[in-house]
Amino acid sequence: MGVRLTVLRESAPLERRVAMVPEVAERLSKAGFTLLVERGAGERAGYPDADYERAGAKLCTGPMELFDTSIVVGIGPPSPESVRSMRAGTVTISLLFPGRRIELVRSMQEARLRVFALELLPRISRSQSMDVLSSQASLAGYEAAILGAELSPRLFPMLTTAAGTIRPSTVLILGAGVAGLMAIATARRLGAVVEGYDVRRAAGEQVRSLGAKFLELSLNAEGTGGYARELTPEEKVQESQMVGDAVARADVVITTANVPGRKAPMLVGRDVVARMKPGSVLIDLAAESGGNCELTRPGETVVVGGVSIVGPIDLPSRVAFHASLMFAKNVQAFLSLLVDPAGRLVETYTDEILTASLVLKDGDVVHAPTRELLGAPR
């Protein structure tokens, strides 16, 4: 019969993605998995139930069917009601962020589940095919640029018309990680003049390779051994002023600085927002973890002095079809570590990817930061 794997319909209000798509479900079925899919799980992402049936999955409705399983996968963690229906030893795979959901983690501990949090995957080459944070961040960066173009009262590209020449918009991207680089590439494709900034000087080469200008002070920050030296307090003030000036002259600003498990760094204070032009737009991709802008409110748009500060929390869901496809392929790669070549669920976790992403195992809290939050004994 093979390992039984359940795919749940997401319960979060704005969530349109699904953790498994028919294309990947068919591959898993051929590999020996038995797939149970909650009815309607993929509808909001553009994947109808009939496609899952053709892929070899069984459609289920009630908990008796759904949770007669070995593994439960989701974009977000299962609901408290679903946790109560699971049997001890069930493996859950999702984006968890335990610090935000400590009571849910406590109930999962009481249910004696085996809980993997995909955001905790180590940053090593072997985990790249499983890296859901990167795959979803790239889509968030794309959508942020599209959203900026939609909300801005100014055109992105330069146009030469009978009424004269329209100058292109200036778009500033703060943070040159996966989301930032995709935002830069997308804004450039839309015809904007793009500037990028990152505290990592090495990111400059990537920013420039996409046709954007990289903001940096005209100083030598090279240290020993090829590493950048710590900036002096005076140089940090200069750098902050440089970034503030760039924010003030931009038509659209997209901030992307996010650190998993920690509050987002503050990049744009209210004093800098006061210098921005009326009609300017700031898209804050770190809204859900505290925001890069002092005035950001998660899930809301705040207008201050004619400047729109947007705190979206659902950007990958806006392109749910492809976001789900990428997530499902990441999950498929992760499953290759959890199920051995003979089709049996692995019981002892020795692979560093599994040990790094494991939060709970049969009632034991194995993730140290979560253990501290729960006050659990070592």
Out of 134, 188, 189, 297, the active site residue is: 134
∠ CA 132-133-134, rounded to 5°: 90
**Poorest-confidence range of 71-80, 85-94, 144-153, 230-239?**
230-239
Q: Is 16 a catalytic residue?
A: no
Out of 39, 84, 123, 126, the active site residue is: 123
Out of 39, 128, 167, 209, the active site residue is: 128
43, 102: one domain: yes
310, 323: one domain: no
187, 225: one domain: yes
Out of 131, 198, 251, 284, the active site residue is: 131
Nearest to 91 by CA among 344, 358, 333, 341: 358
226, 239: one domain: yes
**pLDDT value at 1 more than 60:** no
Asked if residue 365 is part of any domain, the answer here is yes
**pLDDT value at 227 more than 70:** no
DSSP state at residue 312:
-
Asked if residue 244 is part of any domain, the answer here is yes
Last residue of a domain, one of 265, 296, 314: 314
25, 105: one domain: yes
CA atoms of 207 and 220, how far apart (whole Å): 19
**How confident is residue 127, by pLDDT bands cut at 50, 70 and 90?**
very high
Asked if residue 168 is part of any domain, the answer here is yes
pLDDT at site 377: 62
Q: Is 245 a catalytic residue?
A: no
Asked if residue 98 is part of any domain, the answer here is yes
Q: Is 344 a catalytic residue?
A: no
169, 283: one domain: yes
305, 332: one domain: no
Q: Which two tokens stand for residue 351?
A: 């692979």
Asked if residue 136 is part of any domain, the answer here is no
What CATH code is carried by the domain that includes residue 336? 3.40.50.720
41, 92: one domain: yes
**How confident is residue 218, by pLDDT bands cut at 50, 70 and 90?**
low
∠ CA 124-127-132, rounded to 5°: 120
Q: Is 131 a catalytic residue?
A: yes
Full residue range of the structural domain in which residue 64 is found: 4-130+319-374
Query: How many domains does the structure of the chain reveal?
Result: 2
Last residue of a domain, one of 268, 295, 314: 314
> Where would I find the beta strands (DSSP E) of 192-319?
193-197, 213-214, 252-255, 281-284, 301-304, 307-310
Q: Which two tokens stand for residue 188?
A: 């450039």
149, 261: one domain: yes
Asked if residue 293 is part of any domain, the answer here is yes
Last residue of a domain, one of 314, 332, 351: 314
Task: Tell me the average pLDDT across 155-173.
Answer: 95
Provide the mean pLDDT of the chain.
93
Task: Tell me the average pLDDT across 143-160.
Answer: 97
DSSP state at residue 359:
E
Q: Which two tokens stand for residue 222?
A: 């090279």
170, 310: one domain: yes
Q: Is 308 a catalytic residue?
A: no
Task: Tell me the average pLDDT across 154-161.
Answer: 95
Asked if residue 331 is part of any domain, the answer here is yes
Instruction: Answer whether 370's CB lies under 8 Å from 378's CB.
Output: no
∠ CA 292-143-202, rounded to 5°: 55
pLDDT tens-digit map of 264-302: 889 999 999 999 999 999 999 999 989 999 999 999 999
75, 196: one domain: no
pLDDT tens-digit map of 302-354: 999 999 999 999 999 999 999 999 999 999 999 999 999 888 999 999 999 99
Report pTM: 0.91
Asked if residue 135 is part of any domain, the answer here is no
Nearest to 273 by CA among 311, 305, 236: 305
Out of 84, 167, 208, 227, the active site residue is: 227
167, 294: one domain: yes
